[in-house]
Structure 1
């Protein structure tokens, strides 16, 4: 819980002490912990016991509750210090087995934790999972990122806003992998006859043609930044808004005052010049319209009218795609 919802490293969690998350007089809860990996003294020597972080971690309510529970169990000292690093991963596997067994016993097979295709679930993977959600779920779990003052929130704070290490490197890698996957999927779809529409349709087609260059090549932060800093290739899939953002800062309506290195995918504006849609997005628009109309049929009249109006706008956007879609052969 603490690792996944804060992005802390396992060693940093082990260094948390009782009282690390005091009740705030106002505002958010903050976790005051130590940093170990980059801890050095004035002479540049490594400090094995760690040093207090310059910027505290921002804690949301589930994390605060978890810390309060452990504080009741541990009278003083390190909250998680009694758990050896070598035993943390096996304990996670035992918990997964216990939870899945309980789900089967209670006849709730849908709550069984499935086997992980990438191997055992270790504590070091929680931070990577958090970065994955921030990079690929705009408007959904990405909303959690607003709570975290230590990381780039919703990809909007820019690539030079804070120190280039730790969770920021993971965010760069996961964002670049998401962009590369979007380019590969678009390239394959266009080759199979998928049409694309929108003000940025031709820019998206151009970017997709470079997809093979990045297949399997993004494995470290330097390679990730090489892709993210190329303005002609940054195509972001936005499943929540049912569109793609072919990002150009000077045309972005999600940043009205200042230009940013990355879009605010949780603030997509339908009239933006960076938008492109495929046949798949048009299908999603119609599915969402049907869902809204079904909700409207069972909603009070004012809300029902708003839901129907929203459904109508979505259908119009899908129809506009059908009228203006461009197949790949028309661009050659």
Structure 2
């Protein structure tokens, strides 16, 4: 689970090195003698070389807005990518799931050892970025509620409460101590899930996405009858768009498959109808 540029970069690297070799094998990427992988120092030099090459290309093609500006903090060494990694993990759909599956070692012994060699360990950055992503989610919900947005579902009132809690953090620089408090605060456990067209206001004892009690939801396994579900007017707009899409597909495929598309479209419209019948607004909770 990764963002598209990462996937594309890995595919390119796989074509540059022999099958089964390291993606950054010294033999494949360096003309000097050596074995194993490229060193951290060499990787840092390569990043700077890439910046210079990209700027030359942008200038040659008149794309001045694509020029990478000088960095006020110095060279872009490999350690600087820790924050980018933390930012993307925390803000991607199911980012915490990806962290547990693919980057789990970052929060275990490797992470502890890594952090001990640096003041800013990757797991600390992940806590800060996860907290910021959480506040961004509930702050956006707060603004939408102020504009009259409606919310439905068994967790609708908890979503509104979480949105009100976020106001105290809006516009502030979140410290590591605050980040840990936010991550651990059950009232702020709100996860938007655009793929499932819903919002998860997570409460461990109500979760149906996994059998074991966990601190975070499994957003790739949302269950329709879960007590943590909330949907906003914006989710419903997307649900109706998906229903129209399914109906259009149903008209272009054979009978059984078309019938299945139509049943799914009808189910989505039932969800939309239930939302409009039961939605509550910020004024309803005053």
Fold equivalence (TM over 0.5): yes
Q: Which of 72, 75, 80 is the matching residue for 2:38?
A: 80
CA contact (8 A) 2:55 2:68 kept: no
Residues 135-191 of structure 1 show CA distances to partners (whole Å, capped at 9, x for unaligned) of 232259976974445247xxxxxxx89856533323222221111011111111111
Q: Offset of 1:118 from its aligned partner?
A: 11
CA contact (8 A) 2:24 2:38 kept: no
Q: Offset of 1:238 from its aligned partner?
A: 1.5
Query: SS state of the match for residue 237, structure 1?
Result: strand
- State the TM-score, normalizing by the size of structure 1: 0.65
Query: Structure 1 stretches of 5 or more lacking a match?
Result: 7-59, 153-159
Q: Offset of 1:320 from its aligned partner?
A: 1.3
CA contact (8 A) 1:235 1:245 kept: yes
Give aligned pairs, total: 263
- State the TM-score, normalizing by the size of structure 2: 0.74
CA contact (8 A) 1:244 1:275 kept: yes
Q: 1:326 is matched with which residue?
A: 280
Is 1:236 equivalent to 2:207 in the alignment?
A: no
CA contact (8 A) 2:155 2:228 kept: yes
Query: SS state of the match for residue 236, structure 2?
Result: helix
Query: SS state of the match for residue 298, structure 1?
Result: coil
Q: Offset of 1:212 from its aligned partner?
A: 1.6
Distance 1:131 1:329, change over 3 A: same
Q: 1:199 is matched with which residue?
A: 154
Q: What does 1:276-287 align with in structure 2 at a 5 Å threshold?
A: 276-287=230-241
Query: Structure 2 stretches of 5 or more lacking a match?
Result: 17-21, 116-120
CA contact (8 A) 1:297 1:304 kept: yes
Q: What does 1:1-332 align with in structure 2 at a 5 Å threshold?
A: 67-68=22-23, 70=25, 71-74=27-30, 76-77=34-35, 79-81=37-39, 83-84=41-42, 87-97=45-55, 114=66, 122=76, 123-138=78-93, 146-151=101-106, 163=111, 165=115, 166-256=121-211, 258-332=212-286
CA contact (8 A) 1:197 1:321 kept: yes
Query: SS state of the match for residue 232, structure 1?
Result: helix
Residues 210-232 of structure 1 show CA distances to partners (whole Å, capped at 9, x for unaligned) of 12211133534332110011112
For 1:206 and 1:232, locate their aligned partners in 2 and report how far apart those are by CA, in whole Å: 8
- Following TM superposition, the consecutive aligned residue runs of length 4 or more in structure 1 with deviations greater than 6 angstroms are 60-63, 115-121
For 2:109 and 2:257, locate their aligned partners in 1 and report how far apart those are by CA, in whole Å: 41
For 2:70 and 2:171, locate their aligned partners in 1 and report how far apart those are by CA, in whole Å: 16
Query: SS state of the match for residue 188, structure 2?
Result: coil
